Chains A and B, each alone.
Chain A
């Protein structure tokens, strides 16, 4: 089996490092970060923290170096989905490509470029410590299922999931993985931008009754959009919000980290995704719309000279 990780940042590196431990899987990592690519080729990819892995995938910044692959795992930020899959489409002449990115809308873009698509959602998180070295902060499962309009076969999905599980990343192949995807989407869309806009860590935000109510209202809008599509959520995103308050009180949401660094955020795939699916299914989402516009406004403010 030959697999190409498209986008080998923190998440992509987790997939690449675990999979590359196996003798029967040839792993390629495509990334634009030359220093990270060089470090991987020179001395392998190392995981620390939750994971303790040292393996040797092949890495390149040039898609032409990569032979045809059976599977792709796209792990870029949602902002770069189109550019990444456009660049690597030639690697998958007959491949099945899975998105493990945040939000919704990535599979639709990937499907424009490759023959078959898998809908994935992943919970593990980490950060790049230095080129070639990623700290895994949290473990957790990955879910994979068909992307119906242009799906891989269940047999293929099971094969990829089994390879991951056997390499140490627990992955479930499901007939319908939308429930997992939307549960994570709704949780992220209700909590991430609140942090970015208010600068409050998750637990502190949750301790403000009015902010907590706002989070619940955002969750309710997202849940209504999921329901209108016939999606059964895996678990109650509102309960996940409370759980995260317990286990990650001082956690600064990734979008808050983006805001502090003045980096573009993934809001279009999160709140924007809920708004756009809401429009398709005639479900009003005024609060997610407001949050989406506020984050875009915040990003716009970084381009202005404060004078």
Chain B
């Protein structure tokens, strides 16, 4: 890929805004927004980052990619549910660009590849931010974004290293992997379990997710579901980078006393509470599809996947919650 002199962020939610703000301190930063009002405010006021970073950059923004010209790197930072629509918009534009996806779960790269022959970098991000307005994001969790070349395309490890180096210089954290799958699957199995269970039980990420005392304690289910997922990773030769169960135990032991509930509200639970389509097809559903492809049984993932899909239907039908 070219030396990166310009980037375009497609989808400036919290994660997209963090990329745009930080990368904008080093290279020309553009934002492809969905709403014209959002693009206009970015053009007029630029983008402010507070929290773990303090910065302000100018942004070139538009809702039509034709107005943005070519770039060297496009980062698609929408939710998984919006990737198809975004990729359709990008089709025929940014001929020199490498595209990086940062969605949860599996399957977004395949969707992007349907709309152009850009080299594609896969990534998973653990950083988080709070979006205060269209032009202000707070950098909250300064954990890394992991990235690697998507096996189905032409991006190379050297491309990934160049992007990771740029992200690190900009003040965010990134780590390049020759094979992202061990890291991607660690996060996938973590999310496919805790997100779907949270969505069905209406529970944020509290201690109950790691409790394994009583017969019906939720930890047993989380553990069994993750063990099931590990079999599916193992069946395709993936050695996990991190144990999802340990990620879960660690996540619920946050807090000053070590036994406080760490009540992170999963994105899927937020979606359920707001009656929006969830990312279950890319998380739990992705594990179910991989299991079927590999001929490995996945009854617990299937159960949770079906329950979340049914729950989405309940508000489409106007059932009380």
Contact check, B307 vs A197: say whether CB atoms are below 8 A apart. yes
Q: Does any Cβ of B come within 8 Å of A149's Cβ?
A: no
Contacts of B197 in A (CB 8 A): 294, 297
Contacts of B306 in A (CB 8 A): 208, 210-211, 213-214
Q: Does any Cβ of A come within 8 Å of B237's Cβ?
A: no
Chain B contact residues: helix, strand, loop or mixed: helix
Contact check, B307 vs A204: say whether CB atoms are below 8 A apart. no
Contact check, B303 vs A199: say whether CB atoms are below 8 A apart. no
Contacts of B307 in A (CB 8 A): 194, 197-198, 211, 214, 294
B interface footprint on A192-225 (CB within 8 Å = 1, 0 otherwise): 0010011111001100101101100100000000
Number of B interface residues, CB 8 Å? Answer: 36
Q: Does any Cβ of B come within 8 Å of A286's Cβ?
A: yes
Contacts of A293 in B (CB 8 A): 216-218, 220-221
Q: Does any Cβ of A come within 8 Å of B167's Cβ?
A: no
Q: Does any Cβ of B come within 8 Å of A15's Cβ?
A: no
Contacts of B217 in A (CB 8 A): 293, 296
Q: A201 to B318, alpha carbons, bound, how many Å?
A: 11
Q: A120 to B261, alpha carbons, bound, how many Å?
A: 43
Among A204, A294, A304, contact of B200 (Cβ-Cβ < 8 Å)? A294
Q: A16 to B206, alpha carbons, bound, how many Å?
A: 45
Q: Does any Cβ of A come within 8 Å of B313's Cβ?
A: yes
Q: A290-B300, A293-B221 are in contact. Are A197 and B216 (CB under 8 A)?
A: no
Q: Does any Cβ of A come within 8 Å of B130's Cβ?
A: no
B310, closest chain A residue (CB): A198
Contacts of A147 in B (CB 8 A): none
19 A–B contacts from the bound complex (CB under 8 Å): A194-B310, A198-B311, A198-B313, A199-B315, A204-B317, A210-B305, A210-B309, A211-B309, A214-B303, A272-B216, A276-B215, A289-B220, A293-B221, A297-B197, A297-B200, A298-B203, A301-B202, A301-B203, A304-B204
Q: Which residues of A contact B (CB under 8 A)?
A: 194, 197-201, 204-205, 208, 210-211, 213-214, 217, 260, 267-268, 272, 275-276, 286-287, 289-294, 296-298, 300-301, 304, 307
The 5 closest A-B pairs by CB, nearest first: A297-B201, A293-B221, A198-B310, A199-B314, A301-B202
